[in-house]
Amino acid sequence: MRIARRLAALVAVLLPCLVGHGLTRLLGRRSLWPKRFLALAGRACGARVTLVGTPLPRDVLFAANHLSWLDILLIGGATGASFVSKAEVANWPVLGTLARLGGTLFVKRERRGEAGRQADALAAALRAGRPVALFAEGRTGNGVELMPFKPTLFAAVAGQAGLAVQPLRIDYGAETRAMAWPEDEPAGANALRVLGMKGRRQAVLHFLDPIPTDKVPDRKALAAQAHAAVDAAAPNG
């Protein structure tokens, strides 16, 4: 019953947001509807979010840890950022369509030869004034240990003037480990498990001190600095 209620709430917020987004695009204006939808969808899924620190509004790459698909709703709803996602998400039913509407940048992580093109696409999005969020571990973590940040896409901003990397840590308090999405758990099973959890998820987004990218010309050093900041923001850090 709880799952059905939350799914119904998602549909209820999706339809008017799709209409509003379509009309705004027809008028040739920048649409804020994806951000509104993600914020409302997060609440529909039972999440409440608290912001610590201030997210930069533009010219920023948010470098975040990753625990759950719910992270996307909460970060997107709070910042309006576009996301960097693995390419296969583009073909997922419903979620793929929503991701494209939100301006998601799809990357083929396993193809090293495309790293330069992917970094160029990310840089172009930033130059267009769109904040971009990167789950820098490359996959969901276990809620206990922070995995190394993959440096490849940091090449888009390393050494660039006028941009910043803002480290971002998301946690769910006492439920952080329960919210983590293990690699061996199918997407559908995980979605049903999270939607079926009792009560509300209390999430905290920690927006940490921005790192001016013109001061760090090396992508690996930039990734390491962002990783250190996110790791230090752990509840026991």
pLDDT in tens, 60-102: 999 999 999 999 999 999 999 988 877 777 777 666 766 776 6
Domain ranges of the chain: 47-187+196-232
pLDDT in tens, 148-191: 999 999 999 999 999 999 999 999 998 998 898 988 898 888 88
Cα separation of 54 and 35, whole Å?
A: 17
Cα separation of 72 and 39, whole Å?
A: 10
pLDDT in tens, 192-201: 899 989 889 9
pLDDT in tens, 40-56: 999 999 999 999 999 99
This prediction has a pTM of: 0.90
Contact present, 153 and 118 (Cβ < 8 Å): yes
Helix (H) / strand (E) containing 45: none
Helix (H) / strand (E) containing 97: helix 95-101
Q: What is the pLDDT of residue 89?
A: 74
Contact present, 211 and 164 (Cβ < 8 Å): yes
Mean pLDDT, the chain, whole residue set: 88
The CATH fold of domain 47-187+196-232: Rossmann fold (3.40.50)
Q: What is the pLDDT of residue 48?
A: 94
Residue 88's closest CA among 110, 121, 61, 66?
110
Contact present, 211 and 222 (Cβ < 8 Å): yes
Contact present, 168 and 205 (Cβ < 8 Å): yes
Given a cut of 60, whether residue 237 has pLDDT beyond it is: no
Cα separation of 67 and 141, whole Å?
A: 5
